[in-house]
Amino acid sequence: MKKLAMTTLALSALVASLGCAAAEDFNGTLKKIKESGSITLGYRDASIPFSYLGDNSGQPMGYSVELAKKVTEQLKKTLGMPNLQVKYNLVTSQTRIPLVQNGTVDLECGSTGVTAERAKQVEFSYGFIYVKGQLLTHKDSGVRDFKDLKGKNIVTTAGTTNERYMKKLNADEQLNMNVISAKDHGEAFLMLQSGRAIAFYMDDALLYGERAKAKTPRDWIVVGTPPSREIYSCMLRKDDPQFRDLVNTTLAGVYKSGEINKIYQRWFQEPIPPKGIDLEFPMTAELKELIARPTNEPAK
């Protein structure tokens, strides 16, 4: 905790100094934002409760979106731009990294797990949740773990680490499964509900988000010994230390103040739009540790 406090203090001093800097002292994304008068945030439209479209406003909402807004609030202060324009750009599992890399999106806070492969392409902020790969299935399906999937249809989401893992598991364990790749989490759950698949493999927090949408949520259960674990973080362009430090300082401040607990409660343990659904997903011990010692390193 002492190390965290010292790091936070140092980064806060950096942000304060940037706030007094002239425009020419900024570089990378901060310079781009200063000169354009706007920041573009990447969002997902169906990653409940992280980033999704929940009403008719057309504006994204969710846990990750709220954290991204904290960053834009800090940017307004640091850059001296109270009227900073915030734009949103839809991303998918397949497009999120390219759109960050090519400058279309400045910051993506959705449901992206940190991996060594992705870290070669983009920079990651401190993590904001710790997730485990599990299975969503009907309570009467007979599926309780991965061994029960042999010879059956299973659905996951295209372009995710979960998709790659499930295909590898299928080959390595010779389970003879039919692995279906849906375009997004919502479509995957629809396939599960319609009987096209017996289970949906994805990160636990996202599974609870889909489960909450069901007519009778408690007909659906999350099961399985977690074979994968990840930290979700915001993505930004590589080699951009000024912007990275501002994002990390902002998140560290939200964590240290305890505000993160209220934000988490709002999105994971209280009714959320559009239908007042409650995920019933309390904060885990792993997330509490992540908040106490911010990092973006994947779990061992």
CB–CB of 185/210 below 8 Å? yes
pLDDT of residue 87: 97
- The pLDDT assigned to 228 comes to 86
The residues that bridge with 144 in the sheet, in sequence order, are none
Q: What domains are there in the chain, each with its CATH number? A: 2-130+231-292 (3.40.190.10), 132-229 (3.40.190.10)
Tens digits of residue pLDDT in 231-258? 999 999 999 999 999 999 999 999 999 9
Query: What value does the mean pLDDT take over residues 123-151?
Result: 97
Residue 1 has pLDDT above 70, yes or no: no
d(CA 249, CA 193): 42
pLDDT computed for residue 7 by the predictor: 47
> Residue 32 and residue 11: Cα distance in Å, rounded?
21
Q: Please check the confidence at residue 56 and state whether its pLDDT lies above 80.
A: no
pTM of the model: 0.86
In 3D space, the residue among 140, 138, 114, 142 whose CA is nearest the CA of residue 200 turns out to be 138
Q: What is the mean pLDDT of residues 115-139?
A: 96
Residue 16 has pLDDT above 50, yes or no: no
Residue 107 — φ and ψ, nearest 5°? Answer: -150, 130
Contact 156, 198 (CB under 8 A): no
